[in-house]
Structure 1
Amino acid sequence: MFGPAPLQRLSLPEEFALLSYGENGRVPSPAQTAAGCAAAELGELALRRRLLIRPRKTRKLGLEIYQLRGEIELSANTPHTGLTWADDLLVALGTRTAGLAPRPLTVTRWLRERGRQALALHTGVLTERGVLRHRPGTVLTRTRHHPDPALRAALLNGVRAVRSEQVPLDEHMLFLCDLLDGAGLTKDFGLTLTRPQRLERARGVGAVGAFPETLRDTSTVLGFSLPARQGRTITIGD
């Protein structure tokens, strides 16, 4: 049985992980979900103004063209966030982005390196909090993690409310929606945006126009950096 839903708001990677697990206890693509959790970690740090992603952009016919290859840049002042995993991540990123590093740290490279660890970490945290119910695998079946249906439905309703413009879009939901779009999950939920619509949002069209450009750029690159779905297995929790 599920315990009571936690009172505190979930972090961005926890929300992404929870929405990635279907009612059958599995994710559509483990490798993509792993990269998405790592991207959501960067998104959480960006929301806390601890880092940003510098995209490569050019202008053509008055429009900004995204090459969608972003470099991770830490803020000059990065005090503790209050989240152990986030503080540990800042230390690791600080080492990788220091001036002595041989080349800039790109988002795609970091997602490949961090993804498996990020998925295991946040799946474990959600399981400990009773938000995911762990069912161990057997000889014939794989490990499953079944999400709390009420909390998962509440998160989905929040996304639907933003998409239907029933509630204003805030920075947190911008990142969550970009990540869900990048993973194809909004398509699964019947809430998808087309690629042109996603790029219009990146350029500040509509409700996102009031958000800082650096924040929009960061969210855009993270969403577009997720790999395509495929079925390679990543075992979590065995």
Structure 2
Amino acid sequence: MFGPASLQRLSLPEEFTLLSYGENGRVPNSAQTAAGCAAAELGELALRRRLLVRPSKTRKMGLEIYRLRGEIELRSSTSDLSNTPGTGLTWADDLLSALRARTATLASRPLTVTRWLRERGREALALHTAALTERGVLRHTPGALLTRTRHHPDPVLRTALLNGVRAVRAEQVPLDEHMLFLCDLLDGAGLTKDFGLTLTRPQRLERARGIGAAGALPETLRDTSTVLGFSLPGREGRTITIGD
């Protein structure tokens, strides 16, 4: 049975994980879902102003060219990152520590999003799947001889999340920072196709440019969200063009 914990506010990676599991208790593509979960973790930290992703941008004939080799940049209000107050989320604080350590090992080389997603993906998906299962948001069904383990999402909470995305797409409610990241991640993972909420590539690029509702959101967050969404495996090409 799903418990009252289902009604608690979920973090961005928890929302992404919950929506990734279908009614059959499985994810459509484990590698893509794992990368998306790791990207959602970075997104949560970006929303909390703990990091941003700097895309490689150039201009050509009045167009902005995004080369999707986004670099992860840790942010802090203090010069000593080790003394920065915690986020209040154990996994997020652990992740920040891991990112600091990983950045230190690279010395002068930047830590790119694609590299981090490859390293972190499986661990991120397992972590948040286990956490949601423990809280009753996912219901675990053990695998048998010829069947795999499944995790069935809380239908009420899943529907509520989807309705939130639909409301944003229909412009019934404003697009806020959190929904920007969630929508970009769902689009990047191809999940919106299953939900009948797909945006075309030009529409996604307009959102990245800040056209329409996204124009009220900070450019640094739009850049971070755009790169995270387009960095998931299975996307066609690694370069996008955004005009003025």
Choose from 211, 215, 233 the match for 1:227.
233
Equivalent residue letter for 1:120: A
Is the CA contact 1:22–1:146 (under 8 Å) kept in the aligned structure 2? yes
Distance 1:99 1:145 in 2: 36
Matches within 5 A, 1:47-86: 47-77=47-77, 78-86=84-92
SS of equivalent to 1:66: strand
Alignment deviations for residues 178-222 of structure 1 (CA, whole Å, 9 cap, x no partner): 000000001111101111111111111111111111110000000
Structure 2 residue 201 is matched with structure 1 residue 195: yes
Choose from 162, 186, 189 the match for 2:192.
186
* Aligned residue in 1 for 2:126: 120
Equivalent residue letter for 2:62: G
- 1:109 deviates by 0.4
Equivalent residue letter for 1:154: A
Is the CA contact 1:73–1:97 (under 8 Å) kept in the aligned structure 2? no
Choose from 152, 161, 175 the match for 1:169.
175
Equivalent residue letter for 1:182: G
SS of equivalent to 1:134: strand
Distance 1:141 1:18 in 2: 21
Is the CA contact 1:64–1:203 (under 8 Å) kept in the aligned structure 2? no
Distance 1:159 1:121 in 2: 24
Distance 2:143 2:169 in 1: 37
Equivalent residue letter for 1:228: G
* Aligned residue in 2 for 1:25: 25
Distance 1:5 1:198 in 2: 34
Is the CA contact 1:5–1:151 (under 8 Å) kept in the aligned structure 2? no
SS of equivalent to 1:227: coil
Is the CA contact 1:32–1:183 (under 8 Å) kept in the aligned structure 2? yes
| Equivalenced residues, count | 229
CA separation of 1:196 and 1:144: change in aligned 2, threshold 3 A: same
Distance 2:91 2:189 in 1: 23
SS of equivalent to 2:27: coil
Equivalent residue letter for 1:95: A
Distance 2:132 2:153 in 1: 9
- 1:228 deviates by 1.4
Q: TM-score, normalised by structure 1?
A: 0.93
Distance 2:117 2:47 in 1: 18
Is the CA contact 1:21–1:147 (under 8 Å) kept in the aligned structure 2? yes
Q: Runs of 5+ in structure 2 lacking a partner?
A: 78-83, 236-244
- 1:98 deviates by 3.2
Runs of 4+ with deviation above 4 angstroms: none
Alignment deviations for residues 24-45 of structure 1 (CA, whole Å, 9 cap, x no partner): 0000000110000000000000
Structure 2 residue 116 is matched with structure 1 residue 101: no
Q: TM-score, normalised by structure 2?
A: 0.91
| RMSD between aligned residues | 1.3
